Structure 1
């Protein structure tokens, strides 16, 4: 059962971050608003975020499929820095605490839980 939960959470998190990356590529201004810091129509920087997040999602899925749970666990541990940094970015740039903690910090916690579950396999 632990294996199903660990893999299921890892797959779900990787697919969600891939979705967020695609959203930043195809609807960047709306995605930035959802991120917690509305942006003007500066598509270059919003595209960078889309590529970054999309790449994280694809790398996570590739590690899980081709290398295994242990490599994915290390990846999740390291990649948790991104939503932790996003929490600080939202707070420092006028975003709400609800978005900073309710979305970004909560995501970091889920990613760390995923890492712990994968390490436990």
Structure 2
């Protein structure tokens, strides 16, 4: 189970790092994928990119140097971000499919990852 727990956590952290870098390098296409394509403020999109990239790096560092339980607490806390993203997409006219199919589903997977890491 340790391999599954660490593998899922590493994949999730690499994925959020990728999303962050995409927001930094291609902010408008990334915003469309996020669910709010009308967003035209590049600075705020880059802030989101930096936030996401930082989350990914911190998650990987915790897994590598502090272990499963520290990673689990991080994943539990960071699940707030995709839950908030769900609300943001819905409040700003994004589709329910994106809000729930991407953001809420991500929050659920992150919480599952936290549970697996706590079990290691």
- Name the residue aligned to 1:50: 49
Query: In angstroms, what is the RMSD of aligned CA positions?
Result: 0.6
Unaligned runs of 5+ in 2: none
User: What displacement does 1:43 show?
Assistant: 1.1
- Name the residue aligned to 1:11: 10
The TM-score normalised by the length of structure 2 is: 0.98
1:27-83 superposed Cα distances (whole Å, 9 cap, x missing partner): 000000000011443110001000000000000000000100000000000000000
- Name the residue aligned to 1:78: 77
C-alpha distance in 2 between matches for 1:104 and 1:40: 17
Q: State the SS of the aligned residue for 1:57.
A: helix
- Name the residue aligned to 1:21: 20
What is the correspondence of 1:70-109 to structure 2 with a 5 Å cutoff?
A: 70-109=69-108
Runs of 4+ in structure 1 deviating by more than 3 angstroms, as ranges, are none
Q: State the SS of the aligned residue for 2:94.
A: coil
- Name the residue aligned to 1:32: 31
The TM-score normalised by the length of structure 1 is: 0.98
How many residues align? The count is 120
